[in-house]
Amino acid sequence: MAEAAFWGFVGASSLIVASELAFAFKFSKMVIGLIMAFGVGALISSVAFELVAPALEDVDGWVVGLSLAAGSLVFFLGDRAIANMGGSGRKNPENADGEDSDGDGGLGIVLGTVLDGVPESAVLGMSLVGGGGVSFALLAGIWVSNFPESLGSTVNLVKSGWKKSKIRMMWWGIAGVSAISAAAGFAVVNNIDAATGAVVSAFAGGALLTMIADEMAPEAYERSQIYAGLATVAGFAFAVFLTTLE
């Protein structure tokens, strides 16, 4: 469980890294778009090879399909609720430029980051069940996907008058919550049978795929345009490479 908590913190550490970079530099839309596209490819790879493929070994295909659909629906409904609370732009790199945004949107993005990060970290913890090592493909995808969220909300919060020390404490706190979520994910799946674990994994895969399609991929293409495909494949290939090392 301690190992799961450690990797959960590592996956969320990009929140801290991105906030520090936001304090020091201003990133172009193209750079943020390429980072997001790379994360899209890495997450798609991890969903396919780390969540869905193992699930198919333990339960029938129709069960995996229903679990994917359920995860997708739950994420969609939750995402709509978050959008209504002001977090609709949490993965939008436009916020990293400070354009067309205000300080109040920063907290909405933070809320979305927390609600996205909890299930992602839990899934990361689940990948440690069975005595295997951490899924580096999933870890890389989560790390990259968190980056633009922190970058955008940090810029907004600074513009609204938040002190840097307060922002730092907030991101460190969220990283701590992610560590706890990873440990909880490990504890839950470690105490259930293989079939139930497969359903949970497929459910998580459906939620992640919906997040990718609804939020990350469109924004990545909007910012990096024709280069989005190349960066996505690079992320996918990188995650596949990481999978071969496990």
The pLDDT profile of the chain, 246 residues, written as one tens digit per residue, is: 788 889 889 988 989 999 999 898 887 888 878 888 888 888 888 788 877 888 898 889 999 999 999 988 987 887 777 667 655 554 454 544 444 444 444 555 565 566 566 767 877 777 676 556 677 777 877 887 777 778 767 877 787 788 899 889 989 998 998 899 888 877 877 777 778 778 877 887 888 888 788 877 887 888 888 999 999 999 899 888 877 776
- In 10 A of CB 227, how many CB atoms? 16
Q: Return the pLDDT at 211.
A: 78
Tokens of 187: 């504890």
Distance CA 96, CA 115 (A): 20
As a whole number of angstroms, the distance between CA 229 and CA 233 comes to 6
Residues 6+ apart with CB under 8 A from 136: 239, 242, 243, 245, 246
2: closest CA among 188, 180, 246? 180
Given a contact cutoff of 8 angstroms between Cβ atoms, the answer to whether 32 and 95 are in contact is: no
DSSP state of 53: H
Rounded to 5°, angle at Cα 91 from 182 and 49: 50
Residue 140 confidence (pLDDT): 79
Question: How far is 165 from 89, CA to CA, in rounded Å?
Answer: 24
**What's the pLDDT at 66?**
95
**Which residue range(s) make up the domain with 170?**
2-244
Say how many domains are in the chain: 1
CA dist 86 → 79, 113, 132, 187 (Å)? 11, 12, 39, 33
Per-residue model confidence (pLDDT) at position 113: 64
Q: How far is CA 47 from CA 31, 64, 122, 221, in A?
A: 24, 12, 14, 20
Residue 80: per-residue pLDDT: 78
Query: Cα separation of 205 and 228, whole Å?
Result: 22
Q: Which pTM was predicted?
A: 0.72
